[in-house]
């Protein structure tokens, strides 16, 4: 009897605890990207899978089944051959200029650095097999060819939300009237100009990406990735046949969008588990700040210390008038004119700070990771967008009512004091932030478990071809029914033409008959 009970249990365990070999490709050096992406690889390893990670960020204490293959230690500015600029200067770049100067050149250069790294080249010459390849989707398309190299399904994961390029490739509805291209800032997205600009930029980015950028990455595939089974599909086709895309968004905050079954929202995934606690000095500081704390952090790529003097002084003049404690990520050792209520540190554990009940407002650049952390903990935001998706993130916060947008060009003492006074003293911002926190966390499954389910679903179902849109195998005119519309138009025009001729002939026949009758009457 006991044997009969044990056998089904063993069958259950072998069915649902299958250990897969997974290649996780997240080589980009950005700390903010890694903060969002690392829980996926670590959780897969904790669940018993053998995870190999191509990364530029080393874990201090990874699980034994979590292998790291390190990218050469270089910043993106080094591989682009430029000096690191003052990131605040990017606030004046258009979306097109940002693509040309940063995303296109930086993406290609960093992908080549990855493939040409010593450890990566050695790894690619090993005999490995994988059941799934997961790649970050961030202008590193040559790396998608690793799914073809290992004859494994491809899953993509992005630190951003809805991706217009992926929508084009897979046949997901574009919804250009409501879904804004991820790197385009629009003051009024639903206006005639906003919708026209969004359509133009969506097409502009897609055409350059498909017909120019992917060509550069095809060349990298041929140059650096050995042992590819022949024939090698194009990178466009590899992405078109991706089994899954995990996107960093959630409809509770982001604009609701219709998605295919294999495009899954996992916004806030890095907030599911907290393994750290506040350092003692910070905890004491926050606990003792009974009047509340204003927290300032412009992210991992933007340095507050590079603020122009007049804008820095505007902050200090306003802070001097406040009773709250100011906690500011400031990268230099000292801040001239430092105030008694101001504490600066070169690095701060952001999500743990935002969890503290004494945080009154978060002054941010509007990066999606930090914005989600503020939403998760119900903290109002004052946002100063600099580039990429930051303005869109902050505009949503302002429209919902838990944040305010302050343009970088507008920073001065008067504007800053007015906005800060409004957010600190108008309780509606805090009330709306707490409401947003409840909405953001109200889910059937937390985002990390959601990601695990779908990644393992793809493995269990050997790529899950059946959840992909059949439109991906159609031409654009077939998918848009253009050929059907043309056929209908032809049928209608031919019908009108035939009907018109028949009516004309009938009329002419009637006239001929009438003339005969008239002629007979005359004679």
**Distance spanning both ends of the chain, measured CA to CA:** 117
pLDDT along the chain (523 residues), means of 10: 46 58 96 95 97 96 96 82 83 92 92 96 97 97 98 97 93 92 91 95 96 98 96 97 97 94 96 81 95 95 91 94 95 77 93 96 96 97 94 95 96 96 97 98 96 98 95 88 95 95 85 67 61
Please report the DSSP string for 374-429 in residue order. HHHHT--EEE---STTHHHHHHHHHHHTSEEE--GGG-SHHHHHHHHHHHHH-HHH
3-state secondary structure of 359: strand
Q: Which residues, 6 or more positions from 103, have their beta carbon under 8 angstroms from its beta carbon? A: 139, 183
pLDDT score of 511: 66
Per-residue pLDDT tens over the stretch 12-57: 444 454 899 999 999 999 899 999 999 999 999 999 999 999 999 9
* Contact between residue 116 and residue 222 where contact means Cβ atoms under 8 Å apart: no
* Contact between residue 35 and residue 136 where contact means Cβ atoms under 8 Å apart: no
If we measure between CA atoms, which residue out of 152, 154, 182, 153 comes closest to residue 167? 182
* C-alpha triplet 354, 360, 366: angle, nearest 5°: 60
3-state secondary structure of 156: strand
pLDDT score of 519: 63
What is 18-272+446-473's CATH topology? Rossmann fold (3.40.50)
pLDDT score of 6: 47
The token pair that represents 72 in the structure block: 């050469």
Query: Tokens 């957010």 identify what position?
Result: 423
Which class would CATH give 280-441? Answer: alpha beta
* Contact between residue 132 and residue 458 where contact means Cβ atoms under 8 Å apart: yes
Please report the DSSP string for 108-132 in residue order. HHHHHHHHHSHHHHHHHTS----SE
pLDDT score of 312: 93
Per-residue pLDDT tens over the stretch 457-500: 999 999 999 999 998 888 888 988 999 999 999 999 999 999 99
Q: How far is it, in rounded angstroms, from Cα 449 to Cα 431?
A: 29
pTM for the whole structure = 0.90
All CATH 3.40.50.2000 domain ranges in the chain, comma separated:
18-272+446-473, 280-441
pLDDT score of 335: 75
Q: How far is it, in rounded angstroms, from Cα 496 to Cα 140?
A: 53
Please report the DSSP string for 8-36 in residue order. HHHHHHHHH-PPPEEEEEE----HHHHHH
Q: How far is it, in rounded angstroms, from Cα 110 to Cα 28?
A: 8
Q: How far is it, in rounded angstroms, from Cα 49 to Cα 45?
A: 5
The token pair that represents 519 in the structure block: 């002629």
Q: How far is it, in rounded angstroms, from Cα 267 to Cα 159?
A: 9
């Amino acid at each position: 009897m006991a044997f009969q009970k044990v056998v089904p249990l063993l069958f259950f365990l072998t069915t649902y605890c299958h250990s897969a070999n997974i290649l996780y490709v997240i080589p980009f050096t950005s700390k903010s990207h890694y903060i969002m992406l690392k829980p996926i690889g670590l959780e897969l390893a904790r669940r018993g899978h053998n995870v190999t990670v191509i990364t530029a960020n080393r874990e201090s204490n990874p699980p034994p089944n979590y292998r790291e293959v390190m990218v050469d230690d270089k910043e993106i500015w080094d591989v682009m051959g430029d000096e690191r600029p003052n990131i605040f200067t990017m606030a004046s770049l258009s979306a097109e200029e940002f693509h040309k100067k940063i995303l296109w050149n930086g993406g290609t250069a960093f992908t080549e650095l990855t493939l040409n790294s010593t450890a990566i080249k050695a790894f690619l010459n090993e005999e490995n097999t994988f059941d799934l390849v997961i790649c970050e989707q961030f202008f590193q398309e040559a790396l998608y060819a690793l799914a073809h190299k290992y004859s494994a399904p491809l899953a993509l994961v992005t630190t951003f939300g809805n991706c217009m390029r992926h929508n084009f490739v897979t046949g997901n509805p574009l919804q250009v009237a409501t879904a804004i291209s991820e790197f385009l800032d629009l003051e009024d997205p639903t206006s005639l100009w906003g919708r026209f600009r969004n359509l133009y930029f969506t097409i502009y980015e897609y055409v350059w990406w498909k017909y120019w950028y992917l060509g550069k990455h095809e060349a990298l595939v041929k140059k650096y990735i050995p042992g590819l089974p022949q024939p090698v599909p194009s990178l466009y086709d590899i992405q078109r046949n991706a089994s899954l895309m995990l996107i960093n968004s959630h409809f509770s905050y982001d604009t609701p969008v219709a998605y295919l079954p294999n495009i899954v929202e996992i916004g806030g995934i890095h907030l599911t588990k907290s393994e750290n606690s506040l350092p003692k000095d910070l905890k004491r500081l926050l606990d003792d700040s009974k009047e509340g704390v204003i927290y300032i952090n412009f992210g991992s790529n933007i340095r507050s210390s590079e603020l122009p003097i007049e804008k820095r002084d505007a902050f200090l003049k306003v802070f001097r008038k406040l009773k709250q404690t100011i906690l500011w990520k400031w990268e230099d050792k000292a801040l001239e004119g430092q105030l008694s209520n101001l504490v600066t540190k070169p690095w701060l554990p952001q999500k743990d700070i935002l969890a503290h009940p004494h945080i009154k407002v978060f002054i941010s650049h509007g990066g999606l990771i930090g914005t989600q952390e503020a939403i998760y903990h119900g903290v109002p935001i004052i946002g100063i967008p600099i580039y990429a998706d930051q303005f869109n993130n902050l505009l949503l916060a302002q429209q919902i009512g838990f944040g305010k947008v302050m343009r970088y060009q507008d920073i001065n003492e008067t504007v800053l004091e007015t906005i800060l006074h409004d957010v600190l003293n108008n309780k509606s911002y805090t009330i709306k932030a707490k409401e947003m926190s409840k909405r953001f966390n109200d889910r059937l499954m937390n985002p990390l478990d959601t990601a695990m389910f779908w990644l393992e679903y793809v493995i269990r179902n050997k790529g899950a071809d059946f959840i992909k849109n059949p439109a991906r195998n159609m031409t654009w005119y077939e998918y848009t029914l253009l050929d059907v519309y043309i056929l209908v138009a032809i049928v209608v025009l031919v019908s009108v033409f035939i009907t018109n001729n028949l009516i004309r002939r009938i009329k002419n026949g009637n006239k001929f008959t009438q003339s005969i009758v008239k002629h007979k009457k005359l004679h």
